[in-house]
Chain A
């Protein structure tokens, strides 16, 4: 089955700096890669996703890149703000709407 590894497990950045989280996956058949933000005790919220036919996608301060050959994808958050502090999860699946395999999560702390 699919295995998703995520690094780093914790990330502390100064407000205004960039944050980068990296994930690798094992199943070459995976084609859909969402990123979620989760606050304590809350449901995961989809912040951005990318499909395998695209190498990069951007939405305001958030961007995701995908290298399907190397089986890795990354989340980039620019101009970080304190409200970006949360746990971020990457995930992979064979198609959107299919079962997701999550990475281990990254706890991001943005210091004002």
Chain B
């Protein structure tokens, strides 16, 4: 099946710094990727839809200036958490589809801890 790689798998940063998370589709081109956030023992919440070559679509309540999404190529989407705070500590996970009407493939996730 299709492979989605996410990097880094975990990161610890100081409060106020920025962190970039990469999501790559390794063996297919992904025009659309989705970014989710999962707090401990909670469900996955959609943050934004990332479209190649255009601006991301953010879900209600997600600050677009804080969570910068760039989908510059058909195989790479990045999520940058700017000025991170302890409350941003969470499991961030991306997903991608090969084409519409086919199932999504999830990245391996990134555990972010902000001190």
Q: Of B42, B46, B101, B103, which one neighbours A99 at CB under 8 angstroms?
A: B46
- B29–chain A nearest beta-carbon distance, Å: 13
- B84–chain A nearest beta-carbon distance, Å: 20
Q: A41-B109, A42-B108, A43-B106 are in contact. Are A97 and B101 (CB under 8 A)?
A: yes
Q: A41-B91, A43-B106, A43-B109 are in contact. Are A97 and B46 (CB under 8 A)?
A: no
Tally of contact residues, A, Cβ under 8 A:
20
Q: A34-B103, A96-B102, A96-B103 are in contact. Are A42 and B46 (CB under 8 A)?
A: no
Contact with B along A53-97 (1 / 0, CB 8 A): 000000000000000000000000000000000000100000111
Contact with A along B75-107 (1 / 0, CB 8 A): 000000000000000010101011111111011
Tally of contact residues, B, Cβ under 8 A:
25
Asked if A102 and B109 make an inter-chain contact with CB atoms under 8 angstroms apart, the answer reads no
* 24 intermolecular pairs with C-beta atoms under 8 Å apart: A34-B103, A41-B109, A41-B111, A42-B109, A43-B106, A43-B107, A43-B109, A44-B106, A49-B103, A89-B44, A95-B100, A95-B101, A96-B97, A96-B100, A97-B99, A97-B100, A97-B101, A97-B104, A100-B104, A101-B46, A102-B43, A102-B44, A102-B45, A104-B43
| Residues of B participating in the A interface, judged by any CB pair closer than 8 Å | 32, 34, 42-46, 49, 60, 91, 93, 95, 97-104, 106-109, 111
| Residues of A participating in the B interface, judged by any CB pair closer than 8 Å | 1, 34, 41-44, 46, 49, 89, 95-105
